Amino acid sequence: MSSYPTVIIKTEAEIALMRHSGKLLAQVFAMLDDYIQVGISTMAINDKVEEFIVNELQARPASKGQYDYQYSLNTSINEVVCHGVPHANKFLKNTDIINVDITLEKNGFIADSSKMYQLDGVSSAAKLLVKSTYEAMWQGIKVVKPGATIGDIGAAIQRHAQAAGYTIVREYCGHGIGRDMHEEPNILHYGQAGTGMILTPGMTFTIEPMINQGKAKIKTKKDGWTVVTKDKKLSAQWEHTILVTDSGYEVLTLREEER
């Protein structure tokens, strides 16, 4: 008997639907590329995304209503690690980095992805953190194949982030995804190669490392959602939804600029 939790293996028909949801989500980010700029409020970003998902894509923002969350996305700026709540009076500044994390459901299946945006006056240190975090996510993605382990993913991410002098947030992880936003298995962004559950074709999950400029310690603010670095140093995150294929991986939320 396996001690691992049960993972929902997707059928070809289900994979096709997840692929479609992922493509739609990539379109949301393409729209945001021209929209996010200095002076815009995080609530304006939320409202723009919700309107686009519902009216343009005929889909549903899957975050809204999940765990009593009222918004269509998270907007995590600078020292905010994750789960930043949109506000009408929180305006983007020239020096900000911001992670926009969006989930989209179409035909019963959910795609989940996040992207870092950098405003024009961002410091070189902030740019390097954003770049290194993106590279770390891809180091994790590239080891995905049948027979690899979840520990292989975490080890690859950890190795890259620590070599660049950064720390990894351990309280949050990637997760299985499909009909539900959070399914088994959990995907840790640190760990030991060769350990943990073995990957098999048809698994779908997110890889979404949160990497800090300073110490790894975090705290949750009084709103019960917003997670920040304890030392107030910057944090960055990128996320994609991944399918384990017969021979490797497919990024279901791949954006046009990444092709």
The 3 state secondary structure assigned to 212-231 is ECCCCCEEECCCCCCEEECC
pLDDT in tens, 42-87: 999 999 999 999 999 999 999 999 989 999 999 999 999 999 999 9
Is it the case that residue 1 has pLDDT exceeding 80? Answer: no
pLDDT of residue 190: 98
What is the per-residue pLDDT across 128-174, written as a single tens digit (0 to 9) for each?
999 999 999 999 999 999 999 999 999 999 999 999 999 999 999 99
pLDDT in tens, 90-131: 999 999 999 999 999 999 999 999 999 999 999 999 999 999
* Average of per-residue pLDDT across 187-199: 98
Three-class DSSP category at 24: helix
Question: What pLDDT is stored for residue 2 in this prediction?
Answer: 61
Q: Which residue has the tokens 């911001």?
A: 98
pLDDT tens for residues 204-222? Answer: 999 999 999 999 999 999 9
Containing 211, the helix (H) or strand (E) segment is strand 210-212
How high is the pLDDT of residue 4?
83
pTM, to two decimals:
0.97
pLDDT at 3: 75
H or E stretch at 16: helix 12-35
Q: What is the 3-state secondary structure (H, E, C) of 28-77?
A: HHHHHHHHCCCCCEHHHHHHHHHHHHHHHCCCEECCCCHHHCCCCEEEEE
In DSSP terms, 82 is beta-bridged to: 227
